[in-house]
Chain A
């Protein structure tokens, strides 16, 4: 009995975590008009429905664009900040590091509101571009922290060796620093993509006509529950899981020699 207990606990924990997702996915295959028991089906009609819905598909494309672009910008900025702070002695560098990471502790709502006020002041209209800016703001601290943490002494020594062997700064960065940082850069990039992909509140506040998928889902929710939402949710879940798996297989596995 005591040997069984840990397994029961494990099963209960996983049930607790995955039951909502399982229910979501299950009822996306519902053949009726409501995503509630009893389950009738399976049927792919709701998938056909959303895949032929231009608004949903446009939102999905928008989301991907915003996620990839904002993650790329956050990685570039995060790398530049990490390189500067890890390789040069600057006055007040601890303070600069703190200020770079601090936005992690600010709620997305506050970040979104702040940006909304600033953007409206500057007269820059709300669009996917402004939502992208918002996602860079929330992902930059994360990218910086991940990249900065992996710029250790081992890397610094390799850069020193490259300089010693005649490399100029540009070639030190392109031939040694960036390739050695590839796992950290990829981790930062994919994490940013998934966070931006799921993000709702900033996108909601900073977009107007073209919206991202979470915002589109929210507006569909206002007209009540429907297996369509389950189908969209399942797709979103599938894409997030793919991103995480890609990260796991191509980045973290490589790290272990």
Chain B
């Protein structure tokens, strides 16, 4: 079961604190959406609004076309996978998983069959009779997923579900979450502060900051052509190069670039480290390597541009024969990978 989610002009205040500002978002049914942002950006508040745990001050939440803004969690077609799993410690995994069905009045045999099916989906059917405290963190995670999916929700809400797992387990759970989502087709809304996790699993990333949506789109688009400086910085390492814009032309230390749609005045030119290198269509000029570190698939180098000696840039260079510290390199960038934002944006 699946449904689209439509949020219109959501605003929420906690007392004087404006936690959500004009959130408008339209997701498709069956989409994997991640809400990405630093702590305090409002992403968890937004998830709570979707789940019905917080009633927004104004705006509407529609799920599958029905207005759900003031409907309590129990009567929404959503379920939540909580950050700390929130399993019932006094129940077996089978009873945990079947809890939602029990609430819906499903007969014992049927709900046990369904619970078994869900535990099978997450690979824990052999442990149906154990209690949550007998499981590892990753396994509890899976039970929480099975429990939330057992009631066949239209939308599954995931609140930093992988935050407590170690890196390796997190990677494998990401793959698993994504493949489960593909196979059942339910709309997933996943909150995280880890941009790599967001890119790894999402069909669409919604970048949030200070209660606002900064950018929303596919991972590739947001990474390559972010709409705001915040989104550009949050998605990964970014070189900031000061520029001055007038009449759609940006002037920088190493030359002029076209900058349509950027207002006149001080601006910032953003280039990802991997878009800077020894080849490209935009000549940045000579630079001196100050230090390098080896990362396996690339060498991360800090460089000082000849044209702007007080500017330090980071580039990812090929790992074969990297230039050592002190070496002179001719640097290029790819024009398509350059974004320009007005300063203070």
Q: A residues near B, CB below 8 A? A: 154, 157-158, 160-168, 171, 175-176, 179-180, 182, 257
Contact = CB atoms under 8 A, between A and B. Distances in A.
23 contacts: A157-B86, A158-B87, A160-B53, A160-B73, A160-B86, A161-B88, A161-B147, A162-B88, A163-B74, A164-B79, A165-B74, A165-B103, A165-B147, A166-B74, A166-B75, A166-B100, A166-B104, A166-B151, A167-B74, A168-B74, A171-B103, A180-B89, A180-B90
The 6 A-B pairs at the shortest CB distance, nearest first, are namely: A165-B100, A166-B103, A157-B86, A161-B86, A257-B133, A179-B90
Given A165-B147, A166-B151, A167-B74, 11 more contacts: A158-B86, A160-B82, A161-B88, A161-B147, A163-B73, A164-B51, A164-B79, A165-B100, A166-B100, A176-B88, A257-B133
A117 to B, nearest CB: 45
Interface in B63-115: 72-75, 78-80, 82, 84, 86-90, 99-100, 103-104
Interface string B112-144: 000000000000000000000100000000000
Nearest to B103: A166
Contacts of A257: 133
A158 B90 CA distance: 11
Nearest to B51: A164
A162 B99 contact: yes
A162 to B, nearest CB: 7
B68 to A, nearest CB: 13
Contact of B80 (A154, A161, A166, A168): A161
Contacts of B78: 164
A165 B151 CA distance: 8
Interface of B: 51-53, 72-75, 78-80, 82, 84, 86-90, 99-100, 103-104, 133, 147-148, 151
Contact of B84 (A154, A176, A179): A154
A160 B87 CA distance: 10
Nearest to A257: B133
Contacts, number: 62
Nearest to B147: A165
Given A154-B84, A157-B82, A157-B84, A164 B73 contact: yes
A164 B88 contact: no
A21 to B, nearest CB: 37
B88 A158 contact: yes
Contacts of A175: 99
Among A157, A163, A166, A182, chain B packs the most CB atoms within 10 A around the CB of: A166
Contacts of A163: 72-74
A56 B80 CA distance: 60
Given A160-B53, A160-B82, A165 B99 contact: yes
A175 B100 CA distance: 12
Contacts of A161: 80, 82, 86-88, 147
A257 B52 CA distance: 33
A57 B103 CA distance: 49
A165 B111 CA distance: 14
A95 B86 CA distance: 30
A161 B88 CA distance: 9
A163 B86 CA distance: 12
B56 to A, nearest CB: 17
Contacts of B147: 161, 165
Contacts of A168: 74
Given A161-B80, A164-B79, A165-B99, A182 B86 contact: no
A164 B74 contact: yes
Nearest to B83: A157
A71 B87 CA distance: 31
Contacts of A166: 74-75, 100, 103-104, 151
A182 B151 CA distance: 28
Contacts of B79: 164-165
Nearest to B89: A180
Among A165, A180, A182: residue with most chain B CB under 10 A: A165
B80 to A, nearest CB: 5
A179 B147 CA distance: 19
Given A154-B84, A160-B82, A167 B90 contact: no
Contacts of A180: 88-90
Nearest to A169: B74
Contacts of B87: 158, 161
Nearest to B91: A179
Contacts of A171: 103
B79 to A, nearest CB: 6
Contacts of B90: 179-180, 182
A175 B82 CA distance: 19
Contacts of B53: 160, 164
A254 to B, nearest CB: 10
Which of B80, B103, B147, B148 gathers most chain A CB within 10 Å?
Answer: B103
Contacts of A165: 74, 79, 99-100, 103, 147-148, 151
